[in-house]
Amino acid sequence: MSVVAPPPNFDASLYKIDGATMNRFNSMRQSNSDEENDVAFNVLDKEFDNFDRIDFQNPRHKDELDGVFPIWLYNQANPLDRDLAYSMSRFDNRHGRFVTGCYENSQFEFKLISYKHRRLYGQKWRTRAGTHPNNTPFIRIFTDDMTIFVIEGHRDLLNSLLLGLDVIMIPFAGYKNSEPLEMIEEVRDRNVVFLIEDDKAYKCMKPLAGEFASSAKSVLLKELGSAGKTDLSDYIQQFSTIQEVLDGLSS
């Protein structure tokens, strides 16, 4: 059955925890990118908004989305998680490609710093020229006690948001943490699981795991596949409910 996605709903007060100033999908820091965008932020906002909103009744949109996240996951997600993932997603009608926004999530704003096309011109993700988002992680930690999952890439980020996970997304396997003290504080006294999809991810995440060990309650590097490359988005495909995925991740 076709599903019409609801419009995004961003009331920051809904995402506050016990009146804290950190909202549900914001971190407590500014961007750690070592390069400034060559494109003005208002230009990026306009370009991103000019892409089509996702329409689950549009076959072209649905075909593209099937490679990003399964429809059952979207349907079962918490409405607030759905709104966040929906707001970060677009469809480029000209190229017939899915587009995701890249964001700097600081204490008081949720700012678009780039966007990426999926599978455009033979690239897995093609970054908007003149932007530099790959040194800016995305943090969405909104509980006091859930496991924090460290993942790689924007596809896994969208899936983790729909799952309702506490998550730290590193943008790509070559990421190096330039602000370790602030990242260490984010995971203090928490269980942290690094989801490892291949050797490149392991080499990137192992130093982070070492940094987090000084403050986290526990740190685990976990492979989702027994053979070959398996990321969180691929792993989800073998299930049909959110609870099944969560049970698998906790086993």
**Mean pLDDT across 224-241:** 88
Q: Name residues whose C-beta falls within 8 Å of residue 170's C-beta, 6 or more positions apart in sequence.
A: 137, 150, 151, 152, 204, 205, 208
Is 3 among the domain residues? no
Q: Name residues whose C-beta falls within 8 Å of residue 26's C-beta, 6 or more positions apart in sequence.
A: 15, 105, 106, 107, 108, 110, 139
> Which CATH number is 55's domain given?
3.40.1360.10
**Mean pLDDT across 139-155:** 94
Is 2 among the domain residues? no
Q: Can you give the residue range of the structural domain that contains 56?
A: 12-250
Q: What is the dihedral sign for C-alpha 184, 185, 186, 191? A: positive
**Mean pLDDT across 209-222:** 94
Q: Which residues pair with residue 91 across a beta bridge?
A: 52, 98
pTM of the model: 0.84
Predicted confidence at residue 25, as pLDDT, reads 35
Is 218 among the domain residues? yes
Is 168 among the domain residues? yes
Q: Name residues whose C-beta falls within 8 Å of residue 171's C-beta, 6 or more positions apart in sequence.
A: 102, 133, 134, 135, 136, 137, 138, 152, 153, 154
Q: How confident is the model at residue 15 (pLDDT cuts 50, 70, 90)?
A: very low
Tell me which H or E stretch contains 91: strand 89-92
Angle at 42 between CA 31 and CA 34, to 5 degrees: 25
pLDDT tens-digit series, residues 117-130: 999 999 999 999 99
Phi-psi category of 82—alpha, beta or left, where left has phi over 0 and alpha has psi -120 to 50? alpha
Is 20 among the domain residues? yes
Is 225 among the domain residues? yes
**Mean pLDDT across 166-178:** 87
Is 162 among the domain residues? yes
CA distances from 115 to 22, 98, 99, 125, 156 (A): 24, 10, 7, 10, 15
Say how many domains are in the chain. 1
Is 164 among the domain residues? yes
**Mean pLDDT across 60-88:** 95
pLDDT tens-digit series, residues 98-112: 999 999 886 557 899
